């Protein structure tokens, strides 16, 4: 059960960080014709949608609360 607390803390921290830290995303598009290849690579940085971050924060807090309740009952 102690691991549940630490897993919840990690998920909570990642959820908060995902609101501010952008995630890099790379796309590669290319055209091949015979022996010729022409390609372009684009890079984007986007943050996760706020609802995903919110779910992560709530899940982390829930895991930490579950651990606290389990300790309190024993």
Greater pLDDT, 25 or 58? 58
pTM over 0.85, yes/no? no
The pLDDT of residue 56 = 94
Return the pLDDT at 4: 87
Q: What is the pLDDT of residue 33?
A: 85
Write down the pLDDT at residue 36: 87
Q: Where are the domains of the chain?
A: 2-73
Contact between 47 and 20 (Cβ < 8 Å)? yes
Q: Is 33 left (phi over 0), alpha (psi -120 to 50) or beta?
A: beta
Is 39 in contact with 28 (CB distance < 8 Å)? yes
Residue 30's contacts (CB-CB under 8 Å, 6 or more residues apart) are 37, 38, 39, 40
Sign of CA dihedral 21, 48, 15, 7: negative
Percent of the chain residues past pLDDT 70, beyond the cut: 97
């Amino acid at each position: 059960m102690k691991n549940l607390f630490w897993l919840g803390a990690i998920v909570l921290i990642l959820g908060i960080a995902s609101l501010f830290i952008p995630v890099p995303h790379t796309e590669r598009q290319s055209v091949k014709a015979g022996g010729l290849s022409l390609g372009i690579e684009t890079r984007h940085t986007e943050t996760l949608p706020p609802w995903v971050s919110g779910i992560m924060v709530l899940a982390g807090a829930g895991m930490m609360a579950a651990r606290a309740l389990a300790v309190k009952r024993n």
